[in-house]
Structure 1
Amino acid sequence: MASGPERFLAATAHLPITPQRMPDSTHTAAEAAAAVGCEVGAIVKSLVFVAVHPDDSREPVLALVCGDNRADLDALALVLGARIEKADARSVKESTGYSIGGVPPLGHPAPVRTVVDRDLLRFETVWSAAGSAYDVFPATPQQLVDWTGGELADIGTR
């Protein structure tokens, strides 16, 4: 079976994405910022949640949150019209195909509804995971919105 970075590269081959392998872990936003040499806010945290809809149906949701923000679950619930639960490691892997710490914003086996923290627009370039805790790629915030089909919303809080 292909590694996370190999699967990410194959899934995004049609896009102008150039992943970079870092010598040190990028598992946390602080580690990623240190490895890349950017502000913590320019790191994209790909956080998976479960939206529980009024009819009790459940849907994985990917929140792309500014590295210096926390996900505002109340704001996310309002955007989605659903109750929000944190996804466990197994659910993250099942819905995205990747392990926590290396979840990219796109390149999943099936589409995942995505909400993008509007605060990412503060940056010209942001850095996201590319399939492992050592692989990242740069993009503009607008590229992430376009590539993921994500909805821009105020879902981050400091």
Structure 2
Amino acid sequence: MAIEKVKEYFKQFGMEDRIQEFDVSSATVELAANALKVEPARIAKTLSFKKDEHALLVVTAGDQKVDNRKFKDYFGIKAKMLTPGEVDEMVGHSVGGVCPFAVSEDVEIYLDESMKRFETVFPACGSSSSAIELSCEELYKYSRAKGWIDVCKGYN
């Protein structure tokens, strides 16, 4: 199960105990916000796109949508989301638990600027009933992101 891979990943940093698991689903922004009792915007949702023959992850604030023009301008390709089967195969996590931790080696990860307005955000941890609270600096460090980008609608 992917959550075990994420726990093992965070174990090297002594942070596996910070992972929260719920008795309810956190598979969507709304469900995660309800499980955590936080505003939906603080959920760090991980979107999976196809770039050539590998996956590209963009982590955004829960209240944001990707702007196709900004995405194309930044990456030079059309924003084409992966199918659920491709997400499993190319990222290593299933839809509902996709996160930027313990992913397949060739996955590129980017963080959207929309999250920087919060002290902490809550990305999933490999299952549809988990999350971890991280500062934006921690998210950047532990996700091994290539950088901060601005590809969302109406933000900035």
TM-score past 0.5 threshold: yes
Residue 156 of structure 1 pairs with residue 152 of structure 2? yes
Decide which of 114, 117, 125 is 1:119's aligned counterpart.
114
Q: Deviations over 1:97-145 (max 9, x none)?
A: 1110001111113141112110101111100111111011110112112
1:95 paired with 2:90, answer yes
| Cα distance between partner residues in 1 of 2:106 and 2:141 | 13
SS in 2 for 1:119: helix
Contact 1:11–1:108 at 8 Å: present in 2 too? no
Deviation of 1:37 after TM superposition, in Å, equals: 1.0
CA contact under 8 A between 2:48 and 2:58: conserved in structure 1? yes
Shift of 1:91: 1.0
Aligned to 1:67: 62
Which is further off, 127-136 or 80-89?
Answer: 80-89
**In 2, distance between residues paired with 1:37 and 1:85?**
32
Moved over 6 A (4+): none
Find the counterpart in structure 2 of residue 23 from structure 1: 23
1:109 corresponds to which residue?
104
Unaligned 5+ segments in structure 2 are none
- Would you say the 8 A contact 1:48–1:61 is kept in 2? yes
Counterpart amino acid of 1:87?
L
- Alpha-carbon distance in structure 1 between the residues aligned to 2:143 and 2:78: 22
Q: Secondary structure at the match of 1:95?
A: helix
Aligned to 1:6: 4
Match of 1:136 in 2: 131
Give the 3-state SS of the residue equivalent to 2:79 in structure 1.
strand
Give the aligned partner of residue 54 of structure 1: none
Cα deviation code 1:59-100 (max 9, x no counterpart): 310010110111223222222222321110111111211110
Letter in 1 for 2:143: T
Task: Determine which structure has the larger strand proportion and give its number.
Answer: 1
Normalised to the residue count of structure 1, the TM-score between the two structures is: 0.88
Equivalent AA in structure 1 for residue 39 of structure 2: E
Residue 48 (structure 1) aligns with: 48
Give the TM-score taking structure 2 as reference length.
0.89
What is the identity, as a one-letter code, of the residue corresponding to 2:72?
A
CA contact (8 A) 1:116 1:155 kept: no
Aligned residues: 151
For the structure 1 residues 141 and 111, does the alpha-carbon distance in structure 2 shift closer, same or farther, using more than 3 Å as the test?
Answer: farther
Structure 1 residue runs of 5 or longer lacking an equivalent are 52-56
CA RMSD of aligned residues (A): 1.5
